[in-house]
């Protein structure tokens, strides 16, 4: 199977490229395959009905997404270096004033997007609120609008 096709990559779980963070994940099977960008793995009969797939290397430029944030919390006209989408969850939780679940993101990565870093208390640690609770009144909570192509837009309600 390892040499079945030049665009197919087959690995044992422990030998899979480290950048994918699969080696210690209990939900990952012992044998893994992925194809080069532009190729899809399927059996003798193609049963793919959608036009998209998961599992490509997110370091490939064609796998990058667009992030756009607009609103009172964000600095206008700012362009930032590319970042991993895993950090967006922490940012959303901070803006909504809720406690994030355990995750691999880091809020500090995206803090430079904000007008000030006053989104965090002086000690740099988030204020912990009960799950599902927000420190912001409903009229000032940012709205999250998800669009096609992975575009994320933040807007705030106008009072």
Per-residue model confidence as pLDDT tens digits over 105-119: 999 999 889 887 545
Between CA 21 and CA 23 the distance in angstroms is: 6
What whole-number percentage of the chain has pLDDT above 90? Answer: 9
pLDDT tens column, 70-105: 888 888 899 988 888 889 999 988 888 888 899 989
Query: Where do runs of H (alpha helix) occur along 54-155?
Result: 88-96
Q: Is the pLDDT of residue 3 over 80?
A: yes
Instruction: Walk me through the domains of the chain, giving residue ranges and CATH numbers.
Output: 1-40 (3.30.1360.180), 65-156 (no CATH)
Cα 36 to chain center, whole Å?
21
């Amino acid at each position: 199977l390892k040499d079945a096709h030049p665009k197919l990559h087959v690995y044992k779980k422990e030998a899979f490229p480290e950048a994918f963070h699969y080696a210690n994940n209990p939900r990952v099977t012992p044998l893994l395959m992925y194809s080069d960008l532009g190729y899809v793995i399927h059996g003798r009969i193609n049963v793919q009905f959608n036009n998209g797939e998961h599992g490509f290397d997110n370091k490939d430029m064609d796998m990058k997404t667009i992030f756009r944030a607009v609103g009172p919390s964000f600095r206008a006209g700012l362009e930032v270096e590319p970042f991993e989408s895993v950090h967006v969850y922490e940012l959303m939780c901070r803006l909504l004033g809720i406690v994030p679940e355990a995750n691999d993101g880091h809020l500090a990565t995206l803090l430079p997007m904000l007008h000030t870093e006053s989104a965090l208390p002086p000690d740099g640690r988030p204020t912990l609120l009960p799950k599902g609770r927000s420190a912001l009144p409903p009229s000032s909570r940012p709205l999250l609008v998800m669009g096609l192509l992975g575009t994320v837009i933040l807007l705030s309600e106008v009072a």
